[in-house]
Amino acid sequence: HRIAARCGDAAKRVVVRTFHSLCAWFLRCEAKRIGLPADFVIVDDDDSLDILKACADDLGYSDLLRPRGYDNPAIKLLNSISDAKLAALDSDDGAAEVAVVPRTVFNILDGEERKLACAYQDELESQHALDFADLVYLTGSSLNARGGIYKRWAQRFSLIQVDEMQDTHMSEYLVFRMLAAR
């Protein structure tokens, strides 16, 4: 509203979003092209933990995620799953115009954790759900493929301003860099 008041009609060409909101918008725009259900839902951290715990119960790994004093293995594993997805953007694993996280991104995890990560990702996909790391991973991998999606979006913005750049994760930076390629 403030931008519209200040810029008038020119504000219609301005996109102001949080980073994850930008990724969600991108994915909704490109859903059909990359095979993502347009009605996908975004799960927050609490929902993600619930899904991970349900997967652990199904696989008989409940003890693996049981809190131990101040240590919460479920949160640690969820962070490791997110880290694996985000790290994949800087590798060959993150380069396809496809709306699925390849299970190979979880190869950096050990045995039971890898199985849990794959089950967690399978459950997200069965629910047409994305977590916050999926938003970044799928946006980055779609742009990283350098195909038609990249060409469209690399021409989309003439100026990109990022607030709090010092708090930007490398995977987020890679998305911005691809969007600002022009």
Mean pLDDT of 103-122: 94
Average pLDDT, the chain: 88
- pLDDT band (50, 70, 90) for residue 129: very high
Residue of higher predicted confidence among 56 and 182: 56
The pLDDT tens digits for 141-168 are 898 876 788 888 988 888 888 888 777 7
Query: How many angstroms separate the CA atoms of 90 and 141, rounded?
Result: 9
Q: How confident is the model at residue 122 (pLDDT cuts 50, 70, 90)?
A: very high
